Amino acid sequence: MARKEVVVIGSHVQGMFMRVPRFPVADETILADDFREALDGGKGSHQAIACARLGLPTHFIGSLGRDRLGKIGASWMADSGVDLAYLKWNDHVSTGCGFVMVNPLGIPAIVTAMGANMELQPADIDRALSLIRQAKVVLITFEIPVETALYASRKAKEAGATTILTPGPAAPVSRHAFDCVDLLIPNLGEAQTLLGRMPTESPDLKELVDELRAHSGAAQVIVTLGERGSFVFSEGRGKRIPAFKVKVQDTPGAGDAFTAGVSFGICHGATLTDAARFGSLTAAHAVSFKESLPGFGTLMEIHKFAQANELEIPEALQEQILSAESMPRRPEALSNAGDSPDHLPH
C-alpha cells in the first residue's frame, strides 16, 4: 500500500503579539500597540496546519498543557483537519507561550517559554510507532527536547519514512547527529549556528552546505534565505531558488509554510528543486497575510494567489494544483478558536 500520511512531531507555542516602533535594548522600556493573542503557534502546529490545508492527511505528535491556551491550539489543528490521536496533555506544565514583537518592517523578535513542549519524550514517540510506520513524510522540529527530536528521526527513518528536520532554535550539533535526517531545512543563521559559527549575512552557500552535510550527516539540505529565496543542495549539486516578490504583511510562519510546501512536493513525487519552488509559493502566500495561520493556504487559495500575482507553479505539481477545486477549503471556525470543541482528545 502506498504511503500517504504526514506526521508532524513538534511544538505548539501560543503567540502573544505586539507591534513596536523599534526593538528595545537592554534596560529600556518602549511603548507598543496592537497587543493580541494572535492566530499564531509554534513550528510544529504551524507545519501541521499548513500541511493539512494543502490536502495532505496530517497527524500531530506533541505536548500541550491542559489549559486555555492548549485547548485553543488543539482546536486550531482539529479545525484544519489535523489528527490529534497522539497529542499528549499535561496537567502539571502549562502550554508553551511566545511573546512576539514585530517592527514596522514586519520582522519579529521573539521570547519563548516552551512549557509542555519539553515534556515530549522518546516514550511518546514509541507509543505512536504504528502511525509513524504509515507515514510517507515525518516532519520534526527543534522546539521539543533535542534528544526526542533525534530519537524520532531515527525511528521514522527505520520505519521507511522521509525525514525532514527544521532545526530552530539551533545550537551546535555533534558530528553525524543528523544521520537519520533525509532533508535538513535551516535558515541561514541556523545553518551557521549548527556548525558552531557566528552567523554572517553572506557566507559562501555551497561551502556552508558542504560543511554542514559532512558534519551533521544530513542527506540533503535546503537553506532558507528569507526574501532572497533558498539554496537547495541535492544529489551533489546546489541551486539558488529565488523568492517570489509580493507585498509583505507579516513574516512569522513563512518558514513553516515553506516546509509544508516542500513536503507537499515530496509527497507528490516532485524533485527537491521543484518542491522548494512550490515552498517559495506557499511562503509568498503566507507573508501576504497578517498573523501566521491565515496565511497557510489551501491548494485552491494557492492556485488563485499564483494566478492573481502571475506566479509560476512548478510544472511537476500543476496537475495537483489545478485539481484544487476538489481539495479542502479553509476552515471557518478560527474566529471561534478560543472555544474547546467537544471532539478534542483529553
pLDDT band at 336 (very low <50, low <70, confident <90, very high): very low
Would you say residue 122 lies in a domain?
yes
Q: Quick: pLDDT tens for 84-103.
A: 999 999 999 999 998 889 89
Q: Which entry of 83, 256, 274, 342 is annotated as an active-site residue?
A: 256
Contact (CB, 8 A) for 97 and 13: yes
Crossing angle, helix 43-53 and helix 68-79, to 10 degrees?
20
Domain assignment of residue 345, yes or no: no
Whether the CB-CB separation of 150 and 177 falls below 8 Å is answered with yes
- N residues, the chain: 346
Would the pLDDT of 235 be above 90? no
Whether residue 27 contacts residue 50, with contact meaning beta carbons closer than 8 Å, is answered with no
Per-residue pLDDT at 339: 40
Q: 1 lies in a domain? A: no
Distance CA 217, CA 228 (A): 26
Compute the distance between CA of residue 302 and CA of residue 334 in angstroms, rounded to an integer.
19
The model carries a pTM of 0.90
Output the domain CATH number for residue 172. Answer: 3.40.1190.20
Confidence band for 64, pLDDT divided at 50, 70 and 90 = very high
Q: Could you tell me if residue 94 is inside a domain? A: yes
Strand order in the sheet with 108-113: 33-37, 13-19, 96-102, 108-113
- Any domain includes 157: yes
pLDDT band at residue 206 under the 50/70/90 scheme? very high
Q: How far is CA 65 from the centre of its chain?
A: 21
Per-residue pLDDT tens digits for 6-54:
999 999 999 898 999 999 999 999 999 989 888 888 899 999 999 999 9
DSSP 3-state of 16: strand
Q: Which domain holds residue 119?
A: 7-24+31-311
Residue 330 pLDDT class (50, 70, 90 cuts): low
Residue 246 has pLDDT above 60, yes or no: yes
Cell of 131: 502511525
- pLDDT of res. 148: 98
d(CA 188, CA 230): 9
Establish if 102 belongs to a structural domain: yes
Count of the separate structural domains present in the chain? 1
Catalytic (active site) residue 256 = yes
- State how far the Cα of 281 lies from the Cα of 287, in Å rounded to an integer: 10
The answer to whether residue 319 is domain-embedded is no
- For the beta carbon of residue 78, count every other beta carbon within 10 angstroms: 21
Q: What is the pLDDT of residue 340?
A: 39
In a domain, 57, yes or no: yes
